Amino acid sequence: MNLTKALLTLMTLTSLTACTTIPDASNHAGLLVIQEQGSFAVGGKVVSTPGTYDNNHPTAAGQTLHGDHLYAFYQVPQNSRPLPIVMLHGAYQSARSWETTSDGREGFQTIFLRRGFPVYLVDQPRRGRAGNSTVEAKIEPTPFDQLFFDQFRLGKWPSYFDNVQFDRKPETLDQFFRSVTPNTGPYDAGVISNAMAALFDRTGPGILFSHSQAGGPGWLAAIKSQNVKGIVALEPGSGFIFPEGELPPAMPSAAGALSPESVSLAEFKKLTRIPIVIYYGDNFPTEPTTERGQDNWRVRLAMAKRWVDAINKHGGDAQLVHLPEIGIRGNTHFLMSDLNNVQIADLVSRFLAEKHLD
Amino acid sequence: MNLTKALLTLMTLTSLTACTTIPDASNHAGLLVIQEQGSFAVGGKVVSTPGTYDNNHPTAAGQTLHGDHLYAFYQVPQNSRPLPIVMLHGAYQSARSWETTSDGREGFQTIFLRRGFPVYLVDQPRRGRAGNSTVEAKIEPTPFDQLFFDQFRLGKWPSYFDNVQFDRKPETLDQFFRSVTPNTGPYDAGVISNAMAALFDRTGPGILFSHSQAGGPGWLAAIKSQNVKGIVALEPGSGFIFPEGELPPAMPSAAGALSPESVSLAEFKKLTRIPIVIYYGDNFPTEPTTERGQDNWRVRLAMAKRWVDAINKHGGDAQLVHLPEIGIRGNTHFLMSDLNNVQIADLVSRFLAEKHLD
């Protein structure tokens, strides 16, 4: 009897401490058990300069340059789920977007590792550690902090929105601003989506999380690779593609006009094979306004609704969740690192479960 | 009896799979148990543009820019050793240098995690994910592959050295070339060492691993921060600092002259408080030669020997290990990712143990 009890106790302990992720209410203190981690480059091209290389008096002649690849860092937890998640950052950002939040909590990288997914974080071609570009660029230190504060919907500089899901300590804002990193070559959605398709060739079937500007290259990657089995798009901001002849009109805003982009119907229909969910946060104006930072998002939300309708009209499975409509308030443009990012991750987990992607 | 046997089996299983690092001879397949991981920016400055910010018609006026910080990704293993290791990459590189090797094996990041050290990987200011520079830069795609092949001592392009510790598969060389990433602002050892000192303020006492160009900023960081408790310098390539009035002459080579740099005696003497080891690999010429890639290192090795002598003359504890002299052959400039990188890590571990840094 005692032995049975000991056995049962031990079995309980084993199931608690065996090398799987140990759940923790705070989503922070549990141990993380990694089966494998590492990094690599994928995609890109090689540019050659004509001539003969002289080892001892080297010039460009006869030399090559490897560029336009992406960089990925991956971690596979023990007893992982079958489909990895690939996370692609937005404009002015790197894989840093998905790591520790500006106020020091775990971001989506570690949250979804804890939930058993292999996680791949990408620095897109011509950004971050994938900085080698085949096309030149000039980097001018551009003071954009206040514009970002407005455009990423922390508030209207220098005031935060009353309900903002962003920690107000000065050091948090400092970290937020320091997550910005420039393009090292011209932004090119084709180059990025080519590299992303090459990444999915390597990972096999997986799920794509995109943020902001990555929305567009994300759709293109799913067109280019059948291994993209689902997309979670956080506040897509550009590259809304429609079938030729079905483009909605451009949408003017205080931040400029947002124009849809055109692809063939055959390409567009590839996006109808997979489940897609789009999330947008709070503090969107309902009517046109002169507030530039917010009005920028009014038209993106409106365009995304048209986009979801187009996907579904063609037999697809897309949905748009505007968080305030389900009672979740105060989210900035960075849903994955907002104060309620675990709640957002829960929504995403539910979507993945419903679509049998987990 | 059956129950006892089951209990014992279960206990064995538990001890095998309980959440500690499971040692593995190949240094690859064992599980990695992480207590905490994340990333942050540290150091840097804020540049302000005069004027008043207009939220709805933003220009540079009245805006700020956060730049010149470094980016760090860290992992703390379970039951970690007391001193973390901070790894700083060299020229044209990022933290990628310390991750997976070009041929897909574990690099120093994961090897030293497995050995129980908290590991911090840095992208230095104006590189990689720390790309926001306060000074402008032009990025021109520069075909340097063949020059790197020579200068990083893989061989004399297109031939590998006979004994080279580098895998010869074409895809390995492709990964190697794609680890290159450009400066996004002017290289500045002062800016880098300031940020490194700020990082050591945050980590507390720790050990610095530097590679190549990072040698110089590494010495400066140790002068600026008393938290640098030891330095492991892999093939330092620039920034050899000597006390004023004690500079050796510049050393000409087929790759140009290598000049020592001057610091005050008081600053220099701060480097005599900590143990320092320098490692250089193989295929160094013993006499001046016209082979540019190799001759570059002949003078660096010679200058490093002078530097070690100067440190020790002033009461310090520095040593230089030229690997072929202890029978270790074929190492390239990238000791931490060469085919024998576990052997190199073993040497480093032995040094850390001897100096009570583990």
- Summarised one tens digit per residue, pLDDT across range B209-245 is 999 999 999 999 999 999 999 999 999 999 999 999 9
Question: For residue A29, what pLDDT band results from cuts at 50, 70 and 90?
Answer: low
Please give the backbone phi and psi of residue B3, each rounded to the nearest 5 degrees, phi first.
Answer: -70, -40
Q: What is the pLDDT of residue A137?
A: 96
- Summarised one tens digit per residue, pLDDT across range B11-44 is 433 333 333 343 443 344 599 999 999 999 999 9
**Chain A contact set for B290 (CB, 8 A):** 56
Q: What is the pLDDT of residue B25?
A: 38
Nearest-CB residue to B65 (from A64, A123, A141): A141
How far apart are the C-alpha atoms of A112 and A346, rounded to whole Å? 10
Q: What is the pLDDT of residue B71?
A: 98
Question: Mean pLDDT in chain B?
Answer: 93
**Chain B contact set for A53 (CB, 8 A):** 146, 157
8 A C-beta contact, residue B260 and residue B225:
no
Return the percentage of chain A with pLDDT > 90, whole number.
Answer: 92
Average pLDDT rounded to a whole number, residues A256-285? 98
User: Which of A3-7, A56-60, B67-71, B198-202 has the least mean pLDDT?
Assistant: A3-7
Q: What is the pLDDT of residue B98?
A: 98
Question: For residue A124, what pLDDT band results from cuts at 50, 70 and 90?
Answer: very high
- Summarised one tens digit per residue, pLDDT across range A228-240 is 999 999 999 999 9
To the nearest whole Å, the CA of B100 is away from the closest chain A CA by: 5
Task: Report strand pairing: B119-123 vs A85-88.
Answer: unpaired
Q: What is the pLDDT of residue A1?
A: 38
Q: Indicate yes or no: CB of A131 within 8 angstroms of CB of B130.
A: no
**Chain B contact set for A41 (CB, 8 A):** 174-175, 178-179
Question: For residue B329, what pLDDT band results from cuts at 50, 70 and 90?
Answer: very high
Average pLDDT rounded to a whole number, residues A232-252? 97
Average pLDDT rounded to a whole number, residues A99-125? 98
- Summarised one tens digit per residue, pLDDT across range A306-348 is 999 999 999 999 999 999 999 999 999 999 999 999 999 999 9
Q: Which domains does chain B have, with CATH numbers?
A: 36-354 (3.40.50.1820)
**Chain B CB within 8 Å of residue A9 CB:** no
Question: Chain B 296-355, CB below 8 Å of chain A: which residues?
Answer: none
- Summarised one tens digit per residue, pLDDT across range B163-218 is 999 999 999 999 999 999 999 999 999 999 999 999 999 999 999 999 999 999 99
To the nearest whole Å, the CA of B30 is away from the closest chain A CA by: 7
How far apart are the C-alpha atoms of B261 and B193, rounded to whole Å? 15
To the nearest whole Å, the CA of B342 is away from the closest chain A CA by: 16
Question: For residue A161, what pLDDT band results from cuts at 50, 70 and 90?
Answer: very high
And the tokens for B43?
Answer: 């150091």
And the tokens for A42?
Answer: 């994928």
Nearest-CB residue to B10 (from A11, A179, A290): A11
Average pLDDT rounded to a whole number, residues B86-109? 98
Helices (H), B208-354: 215-224, 265-270, 292-313, 341-354
**Chain A CB within 8 Å of residue B100 CB:** yes
Average pLDDT rounded to a whole number, residues B140-144? 94
Cis peptide before B158 (omega within 30 of 0): yes
As to burial, measured by CB atoms within 10 angstroms (0-12 exposed, 13-18 middle, 19+ buried), residue A354 is exposed
Nearest-CB residue to B143 (from A49, A57, A104): A49
pLDDT(A183) > 80: yes
8 A C-beta contact, residue B182 and residue A132:
yes
How far apart are the C-alpha atoms of B357 and A333, rounded to whole Å? 44
Q: Best mutation site among A27, A37, A103, A129 for testing chain B: the one with the most B CBs within 10 Å? A: A129
- Give the type of residue at B229: K
And the tokens for A97?
Answer: 């977007």
**Chain A CB within 8 Å of residue B91 CB:** no
Q: Indicate yes or no: CB of A38 within 8 angstroms of CB of B4.
A: no
Question: Chain A 110-169, CB below 8 Å of chain B: which residues?
Answer: 110, 123, 127-147, 150, 156-157
Question: Mean pLDDT in chain A?
Answer: 93
8 A C-beta contact, residue B235 and residue B335:
yes
For B19, the closest chain A residue by CA position comes to A19
User: Other CB atoms closer than 10 Å to residue A35's CB: what's the count?
Assistant: 16
pLDDT(A75) > 70: yes
Average pLDDT rounded to a whole number, residues A23-45? 81
The owner of tokens 């970690």 is B80
**Chain B contact set for A22 (CB, 8 A):** 19
How many cross-chain Cβ pairs, A to B, lie less than 8 Å apart? Answer: 271
Q: Indicate yes or no: CB of B69 within 8 angstroms of CB of A31.
A: no
Interface ipTM > 0.95: no
To the nearest whole Å, the CA of A96 is away from the closest chain B CA by: 7
DSSP string covering B62-81, please? T-EEEEEEEEEEEEEETT--
